[in-house]
Amino acid sequence: MEVEWSGFTPDVFIQLDRQSPETLGSQLRSALRTAVREGRLQTGERLPSSRKLAVDLGVSRGLVQATYEQLEAEGYLRAFGGSATRVAFSPQTTVLTPPEPAPAARLEIDFAPGRPDLNSFPARDWLWACGEATRAASARDMGYGDPRGSIRLREVIASYLQRVRGAFAGADDVVICNGFTQGAALTLAALRAAGTTSVAVEDPGHLDMPLLVRRAGLNPVFVPVDDRGLVVDELARTKATAVIVTPAHQTPTGVVLTPERRLALLQWAEQVSGVVIEDDYDSEFRYDKQPVGSLQGLAADRVVSVGSVSKSLAPAIRLGWVLAPRHLGTRIAEEKHRADRGSPTLDQLALARLMESGRFDRHLRRMRGVYAARRNELVVAIGEHAPNIELTGLAAGFHAVAQLPEGADEAEIVDAAAQRSVGLQALGRYRSPNGEGSPGIVFGFGGVNEAAIRRGIAAIGDLLRQG
């Protein structure tokens, strides 16, 4: 797509050497030819007027006009009466490329987990919050600011986490980050600086966690998950002094860490002087049971809680938070300063305004209803087209697991579904190379409406039944 610089005359980077024996006209023609050939000036792009370019380069307008006329005659430029001079030449390049792989099956319905309903993003409320935040911003807010984040957003986040998640939080305990991935990376870097060498991760678990741990220069240790959550007895047999967990709605199984396991996990952290990194995703969306409070609220000195608005609003907002013990929070803030000097302040102020206005809570209430309806549709559709399949992990979030019969080939089912334009993910892809467990399919329903859920399950019901 051509770029159209509207509303002003575009600038072009050209340097002329007045000490060179080559004439200025020759230099200008060569510079424009080279810019076109190299693609710095692209086909259809508008050039400055002869008057403006002459002023910019300190040459006569006649020299520029003569140059444009010459390059038009050569086919580099085109000009029409009453219109700007534009690039006409399209450089021909020969690039050796390997043969393209066969195109993958086009997915009309994709049950990929972890995707919220992006069509439901509260655009009007966000625009309102941006306007309010910008009007109220001070000159100080326009600077780099505190790398820990806007004090206003940190106050709002701390209050929100206390009210909604039962956390123990103050503004000084919060560091604003660019989503969960950065928050976890900053925390791991701080732990490494403090002497941590091994970090436990859930198995099966989030696909990116082992890689994230390795990138921080640490050793990932896989700890199994069963129907009660992380197996803490197995964790205690490792040399890990930190662990990353999803206690409210485990990724991908959807199980909730039981009260007994929660207490055992915190006792382990106390015994080894360790740290629990709590991935508090999906906590806003619960259906059949009372909300499960944050682990951080039970042991603020041993738990780092990382959250974001990627699931509640949209990943494009790129804002999250780290709630950490003060001694570790200081190191995390230092890592944040070194990484990027802080997240965008105006976006932080807009998020703070959205949350304290009540519009954020209103959006969450609406989305709970949307996701609950989709979850119910998935249950009904599975019951109709694959009644022998049990769905688990339905208490929260927007994904569930279809438990397949023993011996079922997950990969074969996923491939066959793709041929029918339905995207599925196997439970096995979330396991470590040595991980074991029953076969299953992870169904994400956040970004799939009810009609698509019905069509998708109808299309693959026989695959699930046969297993």
Residues 386 and 449 in one domain: yes
Residues 150 and 129 in one domain: yes
Give the confidence band of 289 by pLDDT, cuts at 50, 70, 90.
low
Asked whether residue 278 is assigned to any structural domain, the reply reads yes
Higher local confidence (pLDDT), 397 or 215: 215
Tens-digit pLDDT profile for residues 100-113: 655 556 889 999 99
Asked whether residue 138 is assigned to any structural domain, the reply reads yes
The answer, yes or no, to whether residue 28 has pLDDT greater than 70, is yes
Give the confidence band of 42 by pLDDT, cuts at 50, 70, 90.
confident
pLDDT of residue 125: 98
Give the confidence band of 465 by pLDDT, cuts at 50, 70, 90.
confident
CA neighbor of 347 nearest in space, from 316, 385, 380:
316
pLDDT of residue 99: 61
Residues 331 and 409 in one domain: no
The strand ranges marked E within 28-173 are 77-78, 86-87, 109-110
The answer, yes or no, to whether residue 287 has pLDDT greater than 80, is no
Q: Report the pLDDT averaged over residues 71-91.
A: 83
Give the confidence band of 49 by pLDDT, cuts at 50, 70, 90.
confident
Phi/psi at 353 (5° precision): -65, -40
**SS3 category, 400:** strand
* Domain at 180, CATH number: 3.40.640.10
Cα 127 to Cα 122: distance, rounded to the nearest angstrom: 9
The answer, yes or no, to whether residue 17 has pLDDT greater than 70, is yes
The answer to whether 456 and 417 are in contact (CB under 8 A) is no
Asked whether residue 301 is assigned to any structural domain, the reply reads yes
Residues 342 and 366 in one domain: no
Give the confidence band of 43 by pLDDT, cuts at 50, 70, 90.
confident
Contacts of 182 (CB under 8 A, 6+ apart): 320, 339
Residue-range definition of the domain harbouring residue 295: 123-357
Q: Looking at the 3D structure of the chain, how many domains does it have?
A: 3
pLDDT of residue 82: 67
Element (H, E) at 276: strand 275-279
Phi/psi at 311 (5° precision): -90, -35
Residues 145 and 283 in one domain: yes
Residues 289 and 241 in one domain: yes
Asked whether residue 150 is assigned to any structural domain, the reply reads yes
The residue from 357, 379, 412 where one domain ends is 357
Residues 180 and 323 in one domain: yes
Asked whether residue 170 is assigned to any structural domain, the reply reads yes
The residue from 322, 357, 392 where one domain ends is 357
Residues 248 and 366 in one domain: no
Q: What does the block give as tokens for 53?
A: 């370019």
Asked whether residue 103 is assigned to any structural domain, the reply reads no
Tens-digit pLDDT profile for residues 265-274: 999 999 999 9
The residue from 357, 373, 388 where one domain ends is 357
* Domain at 78, CATH number: 1.10.10.10
The answer, yes or no, to whether residue 284 has pLDDT greater than 90, is no
Residues 371 and 316 in one domain: no
Asked whether residue 104 is assigned to any structural domain, the reply reads no
Give the confidence band of 189 by pLDDT, cuts at 50, 70, 90.
very high
Cα 130 to Cα 383: distance, rounded to the nearest angstrom: 45
Residues 328 and 376 in one domain: no
Q: Report the pLDDT averaged over residues 458-465.
A: 95
The strand ranges marked E within 113-238 are 174-177, 198-203, 219-226, 229-230
pLDDT of residue 11: 78
pLDDT of residue 101: 57
Query: How far is the first Cα of the chain from the last one, in angstroms, to the nearest whole number?
Result: 47
* Domain at 381, CATH number: 3.90.1150.10
Give the confidence band of 426 by pLDDT, cuts at 50, 70, 90.
very high
Q: What does the block give as tokens for 313?
A: 């609003």
Residues 151 and 19 in one domain: no
**Residues of the chain above pLDDT 90, percent:** 76
Residues 384 and 320 in one domain: no
The answer, yes or no, to whether residue 7 has pLDDT greater than 60, is no
pLDDT of residue 351: 98
Q: What does the block give as tokens for 74?
A: 């050569």
